[in-house]
Structures are given as structure tokens and as C-alpha cells.
Amino acid sequence: MDPSRTTAPAPPAAEPRTLSGRLGVGSIVFMVVAAAAPLTVIAGAVPLGIAQGDGAGFPATFVLCCAVLLLFAVGFCAMTRHVPNAGAFYTYIHKGLGRSTGLGSAFLALVTYTAVQLSVYGYLGATLSGLVAQYGGPALPWWLYAVAALGLVSALGYRHIELSGKVLGVLLVCEVGIVLVFDAVVNVRGGAHGLSTALLQPSQVGSGSLGIGIMFAIASFLGFEATAVYRSEARRPERTVPRATYLALLLIGGFYTLSSWSLVSAWGDADAVTQANQNPGGMLIASVSRYLGAAGGDLVQILLVTSLFAALLSFHNVIARYTFSLGNAGALPSRCGRSHARHGSPHVASVAQSASALVLIAVFALAKMDPVTQVFSWMAGTATLGVLALMALTCLAVLVFFRRTSLDRRRWNTVVAPSLGLVGLLAALALTVANFPTLIGGSGELAAGIGLILVAAFALGTGLSLARRHLLVTLPA
């Protein structure tokens, strides 16, 4: 055999480490609006905001919170063209405030989004268990339904992002559609005693506890900021991401304001507050049944389950992409930064996320934690606190980045709006901290413990970055 004709083995192909996709504005909007779980907010957060917050004036708090978040979005979108990576909060804060703070925020974001996903698993498991039993099915524990949902989410998350986008689009249209039909019927009929004007009256908006109302309202927007996570899979991301961010925020804010106002109008100002106090969990179903009949109420119960599933799938995709970004940045094992050769998805990060969620669901089940009053309440409160802190850090990063680089000289986009957004977010964060025991339905000691977990996550990331920097400096050349 002639050695000169021997064919050398081909070098192994490099592991793909980029995500693929051609997501447009609509697809990204569907995914981030689905993460906000609009039907779940109207069914859960709105009655609590009416009961514990500012009563019939609660719909106005959505307008106020939307305005603050729009100010945040101005700087967020201005910086998008200068941040080529898909790490969202991590990359923005890294660019503006340095690697150590950026890595700290990345670990904080992982804990935050994991918490919100776990809260939805708890709520979904409890809702589905109750629904099956109501219609004559077996009374099975909540965690069995949660694990079944996890399996389906994992299968969709492993594949190409456009499949998730299509599934979320269908589910979102269904859940929003039923509420909009309810809104239309209430407005055509004129409500119980005429359409409510409480949201236009400062005395009504400022009644009760406006701070708690703002806290519930700001928590309802959770997930809209994840548009930048899909940058690598977006078509013309420098345009698509900002447009999707603004559109998602306006759609969420408009839907919440309209639907909460319709819910108040359906009963009348005084009776709406009474109903929210007496039956917060069933207020929306009772309202829809009253205006659309029993079939409408049954449909809302079913769509509430699909709304929660859509939120699970959306947050799974967000966490997987954070993990993927950290794997490529060296903050997590490099395997996490691999992408699937055919699907172009962060498949390793997706599997890791599913495994961690399964372990935590098992821990909650073994601890016999209540899926609503403990798993949902505690984890949702944790996520609200974490996201507000991350958005405030991002606003500060935007201000520092443009002050240092002068890459964009538009004062409104780079100074005025981010500064006003930072003030508003810090105020919302202060209100959330002050009322945190109320938000999680627990004690002051529990609230302090959750706060320490978030601080520890941030400190871990920051410490890891500082330790690596010190190691690189001290190693011999």
C-alpha cells in the first residue's frame, strides 16, 4: 500500500456554539407575552391587587407601571445594537458595569427565572389536579401533573426555537381571546352599574394601599424583558429586538388595563372589591360565567392551564439561553454552550434546565409544600424581587455605558429616560421589599431568607469572576 495515498482522518468537526433561527417581531412577542401569562394575571394577580391594593382604582396602576417600564425599555433598546450577544441582563450589565457585576447578575438571573418557572409548575400542578378531579377524574398529587408538563416542555425546548414560537402563538391567541370576548360583552352591556371611572379618579387610585397595588402590577409584567435573549435567533436583531420589546410591553400593559377595568365594571366598584376579598381565586371564572354563561367559565378554567403551560415553555427557553450564554462565557461548564447541529437549539442547556427543575419539584414534593400558598407564592415573590433588581442594574449599566463610550448622543435615549426609569424601578423595588412578606404570604423571617438567597447568588457570580481574574494575574507567564 502506497503511504503517499493514505487518506488522513478528517479532524473532528468543531462543536456548534451558535443558535440559529429567523424569528421575526411577532414570534418574539408571542414568546415574551406568553411568559407574562396574561390570563393567569387576570385570574390571580388582578383580584389580589383589587383586594389588597387600591381597590377599584387598581387598573390605573398598570398604566403607571407600564410607563416606568417603557422608560426602562428606551435605554434597554438603545443599547441593543451595541450588545451582540444573547445574554440579555448579563451582557448589558457586563458592558456597562464590568465583568464581575455582569457575572453576578447572570447568576442572579438564573436563580430568578428558575424561581418563576418553579412557581408556575406549582400553580399548574394544583390547577390541573383540581380540574381533573372536578370533572370526575382521579385525585392525583400536583407534582405528577407538574412532571408531565416538564416532560412536554423539555421535548419542545430541545428542538428548534420556531416550533416553540408556533405552539406559544396558538396558546396565547386562545387565552387572550376569551378574555377579550369577556371585555367586549361587559363593555357592550355597560357593566353592573355602568362602566367604572375609578381608574380616572386620583382619590380612588390612591385609596387603600397603592404600594401593594404597584407591587402586584409590576410583578404582572414579568417576562417582557426577555426579548433580548432571542437576539441570536432573530431576523435583523438590531431592529427586531427593540420593536418586539416595545410592542410586547404595550400589548401587555394595554391588555391588563382593559381587562382589569372590565373586571371591576362587571361587578361595580364596591361589589368588585367585596368579590375580590371573598373569592379572589374564583373571581374571573365567576365573572365570565355571569356574562358568558357556564360554558365560558369552563373554558376559562381549561385555558388557564394552557396559559400556565405557555409560561412554562417560555421561561424554559429563557433559562436555557442564559445557561448557553454562560457556558460560552466560561462561567458554567463549556458543554452548556453547545448548540444542536440540526435544531440550532441550546440542547445541552435545555436538558440541564429540565434536570434542575425536576430535582427541585421533587424536593418540594418530598417536603410536602403546598403548591399554591408555598411553591407558587414564595417562588413568584422571589422572582419579582430579582427581576426588579436586575432591571435597575440594567438601567444603571445603560447610563454608565453611554457616558463612557459616547456611542449614542441622544440624551432622551441614553440619559433622561434611563434615569427616570431607574428612579421608578428603585421606587418599585423599595415598595416590593417593604411589602415582601405580603407578596409571599409568609413571615418576615422567610422574606429575609429569600432575600439572602438572591444576594448570595449575585455574590457567588461576582466572587467567581474576581477569583478568576486574580488567578489569571498571579499565574506565571
pLDDT one-digit tens code per residue, 185-200 = 999 999 888 999 999 9
With H, G, I as helix, E, B as strand and everything else as coil, classify residue 234.
strand
Give the model's pLDDT for residue 173: 87
Measured from the Cβ of residue 330, the count of other Cβ atoms closer than 10 Å reads: 13
**What is the band of 469 on the pLDDT scale with cuts at 50, 70, 90?**
low
- Return the pLDDT at 337: 67
Q: How far apart are CA 25 and CA 240, in angstroms?
A: 5
Q: Is 53 helix (H, G, I), strand (E, B) or coil?
A: coil
Which one has a higher pLDDT value, 161 or 37? 37
Q: Which grid coordinates belong to 150? A: 416538564
Residue 142, pLDDT > 50, answer yes
pLDDT at residue 3 is higher than 50: no
Whether the predicted pLDDT of 119 surpasses 80: yes
More confident residue, 93 or 90: 93
How far is it, in rounded angstroms, from Cα 96 to Cα 71?
18
Percentage of the chain modeled with pLDDT above 70: 89
Residue 8 has pLDDT above 70, yes or no: no
**Looking at the predicted structure, is the pLDDT value of residue 249 above 60?**
yes
Torsion of CA 315, 320, 322, 328, to 10 degrees: -170
Cell numbers representing residue 436 in the block: 415582601
**Average pLDDT across the chain, whole number:** 85
Burial classification of residue 456, based on how many CB atoms lie within 10 Å of its CB (0-12 exposed, 13-18 middle, 19 or more buried) = middle
Rounded Cα gap, residues 252 and 110, in angstroms: 24
Joined together, the cell numbers standing for residue 228 give 433580548
Helix, strand, or coil (residue 198) = helix
Are 74 and 245 in contact, with CB atoms under 8 Å apart?
no
Give the residue with greater pLDDT, 310 vs 164: 310
Q: What pLDDT score was predicted for residue 241?
A: 85
In terms of Cβ atoms closer than 10 Å to its own Cβ (0-12, 13-18, 19+), residue 445 is exposed
Q: Could you identify the residue written with the cell 422574606?
A: 447
Lowest-confidence segment of 98-112, 124-138, 221-235 by average pLDDT: 221-235
Whole-angstrom Cα distance, residue 42 to residue 256?
Answer: 7
What's the whole-model pTM score?
0.85
At 226, is the secondary structure helix, strand, or coil? Answer: helix
Span 380-391, average pLDDT: 90
Q: pLDDT grade, residue 160 (50/70/90)?
A: low
Confidence band of 340 (pLDDT split at 50, 70, 90) = low
Is the pLDDT reported for residue 120 higher than 50? yes
Tell me the residue type at 83. Answer: V
177's CB contacts (< 8 A; 6+ apart) are: none
In whole angstroms, give the CA distance from residue 30 to residue 467: 40
Q: Is the dihedral of CA 354, 358, 363, 368 positive or negative?
A: positive
Q: Which three cell numbers stand for residue 311?
A: 409560561
Query: Which DSSP string corresponds to 253-285?
Result: HHHHHHHHHHHHHHH-HHHHHHHHHH-TTTHHH
Which residues touch 161 (CB under 8 Å, ≥6 apart)? Answer: 19, 21, 23, 230, 233, 317, 344, 345
Hey, how many other C-beta atoms are within 10 angstroms of the C-beta on 297? 18
- At residue 364 the predicted structure's pLDDT band, cuts being 50, 70 and 90, is very high
> What integer is the mean pLDDT of 310-339?
78
Nearest CA among 439, 66, 441, 61 for reference residue 264: 61
Copy the grid coordinates of residue 44: 390571580
Q: For residue 143, is pLDDT > 70?
A: yes
pLDDT at 329 over 50: yes
**Which of 129-138, 206-215, 290-299, 433-442: highest mean pLDDT?**
290-299
Tell me the mean pLDDT in the region 420-427: 95
Alpha-helical runs (H) found in 85-209: 89-97, 99-134, 142-158, 161-189, 202-205
Kind and range of the H or E element at 341? none
The set of cell numbers assigned to 385 is 424581587
- Choose from 12-26, 64-78, 299-313 the range with maximum mean pLDDT: 64-78
What's the rounded mean pLDDT across residues 390-399?
94
* pLDDT at residue 29, rounded to an integer: 86
